[in-house]
A and B are shown apart, each in its own frame.
Chain A
């Protein structure tokens, strides 16, 4: 299957700092990518849809100034958690659809804010 790569796989930061997570589609181009958040033993919660060349579309209740999304190219989307606080600690996962419609996920990034 197609490969979606996420980096870093885990990160620990101090409260108040910003953290950037990268999502790359390695063998296909993606005009759209999706960012999810997952709490322990819960399903994935869609945060936003990243659109190449235009602004991201955020789900209701997700702070766009808190979670900055940039879709810089057809193979790269980034999520920046700004001024992170302990409640932002979570598992963040990106996904990208192939032209066929199959949606592939990255390995996820575990963020711990101290």
Chain B
């Protein structure tokens, strides 16, 4: 069993829809949770960075962490074609610790 599980997709949704991306993890020691967006042939771009259980909102993006269930989510509202990318969840134990990544979900927003 992988430490972090993420559905690789591909996921296709129409423009304007709400997108839900999810990851589960097995190690309860993970403390910090991140979502990255990666366009083809580019480095990952940090979208959301969270620590505690609960919701964090930034524009059209909402990150949700449920430590009791070891489950994290990223919601994208009013999805745009420019949101088409691979989304990676990642987590670590804190500080300068290395990240453990999910496999990434390929998302396509259909105009």
A-side residues, CB < 8 A to B, are 1, 4, 6, 31-32, 34, 41-44, 46, 49, 91, 93, 95, 97, 100-108, 110
Do A43 and B103 contact each other (CB < 8 Å), given the known contacts A32-B96, A101-B94?
A: yes
On whether the beta carbons of A102 and B102 are closer than 8 Å, the reply is no
Secondary structure dominating the interface of A:
strand
Query: Which of B43, B49, B90, B94 is in CB contact (< 8 Å) with A93?
Result: B43
CB distance from B44 to the nearest CB of A (A): 5
In the complex, given contacts A49-B98, A100-B49, what are 13 additional A-B residue pairs having Cβ atoms less than 8 angstroms apart? Answer: A41-B106, A43-B102, A44-B88, A46-B98, A95-B99, A97-B96, A101-B32, A101-B95, A102-B46, A105-B36, A107-B42, A108-B42, A108-B43
Sorting the interface of chain B by its residue count into under 10, 10 to 19, 20 to 34 or 35 or more gives 20 to 34
A17 CA to B103 CA in the complex, in Å?
A: 32
B87-111 interface (Cβ within 8 A of A): 88, 90, 92, 94-96, 98-99, 101-104, 106
B18-62: CB near A (< 8 Å → 1, else 0) gives 000000000000001010100001111110010000000000000
Tally of A-B Cβ pairs under 8 angstroms: 55
B49 / chain A contacts, CB cutoff of 8 Å: 100-102
B90 / chain A contacts, CB cutoff of 8 Å: 103
On whether the beta carbons of B34 and A105 are closer than 8 Å, the reply is no
On whether the beta carbons of A103 and B95 are closer than 8 Å, the reply is no
